Amino acid sequence: MLADNLAQVQKNIEEACLAVGRDPSEVTLVAVSKTKPVEMLKEAYDAGARVFGENKVQEIMDKYDQLPGDVAWHMIGHLQRNKVKYIVDKAAMIHSVDSLRLAETIEQEAAKKNVRVPILAEVNVAEEESKFGLKVDEVLPFLEEVSKLPHLEVRGLMTIAPFVDNPEDNREIFHKLKELSVDIAEKNINNITMSVLSMGMTGDYQVAVQEGATMVRVGTGIFGERDYSRQD
Ligand SMILES: *Cc1c(COP(=O)(O)O)cnc(C)c1O
């Protein structure tokens, strides 16, 4: 069943690509496995998933050694500075960098472990009060500072769009993030590339792909509904 879900999501991504003349190989599916038991991650792994998204440092640490070494763990949730040290050498990418203080902490911890960490700048495109992320006009000045940090590799931008019933309602948000990434790419800032656009979740990833997403973060569509009552 999980394998069927995964195949269906991949097929939907392909269809969304073909609809706008994109090559499906440009889009990476991040299987968002937060709250899900390791057995389910193994099932997804056996069905071909290699990129997993988690939003808690503790969960990455718990699951990390229980899956094969070729899994790429993506940190997609809000990251507290005091926890950076635990994942700086475990996360293949941190999607949720939204302050210079956080970027500087990642720099310090990455330097200690002698690793370079691929990161995305999280942008609150919709300017929702409840959400983390930089405002659109804060992103360029932020990246100009981050570009000076030698252990960080900025790969692109990420946004969490509002929860909507009709995915078309988020099209403009995705379009804005794409435009912002093009604008920033044109500045040719040292140490910064804009090859990754992480946007789209279960409810709206096809629209996000049509608007240029190169990473979609799909949880429920692969693993089913999350049961938060079981969380400690
Ligand atoms: C949980 C989560 C997702 C996946 O959400 P679904 O609606 O289950 O696909 C994607 N991105 C982030 C940042 C998340 O926290």
Would the pLDDT of 183 be above 50?
yes
Kindly give the interhelix angle for 139-146 and 100-113, rounded to the nearest 10 degrees: 20
Q: What percent of the chain stands above pLDDT 70?
A: 99
Would the pLDDT of 150 be above 60?
yes
> 76 CB less than 6 Å from ligand 1?
yes
Q: Looking at ligand 1, which atom is closest to the CA of residue 201?
A: 9
pLDDT number for residue 230 = 56
Distances in whole angstroms, Cα of residue 226 to Cα of each of 74, 135, 218? 18, 29, 12
CA of 22 to the centre of ligand 1 (A): 24
Confidence of residue 128 (pLDDT cuts 50, 70, 90): confident
Q: How many CA atoms lie within 13 A of 65 on its CB side?
A: 3
pLDDT number for residue 98 = 97
> 200 CB less than 6 Å from ligand 1?
no
Would the pLDDT of 102 be above 90?
yes
- How far, in Å, CA of 91 to CA of 80, rounded? 14
**Per-residue DSSP letters for 65-131?**
TTS-TTPEEEE-S---GGGHHHHTTTEEEEEEE--HHHHHHHHHHHHHHT--EEEEEEB-TT--TT-
Confidence of residue 232 (pLDDT cuts 50, 70, 90): very low
- The DSSP symbol for 50 reads -
CATH class of domain segment(s) 2-223: alpha beta
Global confidence as pTM: 0.96
- Do residues 73 and 45 lie in contact, with contact meaning Cβ atoms separated by under 8 Å? no
pLDDT number for residue 112 = 98
Mean pLDDT value across the chain: 96
Would the pLDDT of 50 be above 70?
yes
User: Which of 96, 4, 91 lies closest to 52, judged by CA?
Assistant: 91
Would the pLDDT of 3 be above 50?
yes
| Among protein residues, the one whose CA lies closest to atom 12 of ligand 1 | 76
CB count, 10 Å around CB of 23? 9
Would the pLDDT of 167 be above 70?
yes
Would the pLDDT of 231 be above 70?
no
Q: Map tokens 């960098």 to a residue.
A: 97
> 218 CB less than 6 Å from ligand 1?
yes
CA of 217 to the centre of ligand 1 (A): 6
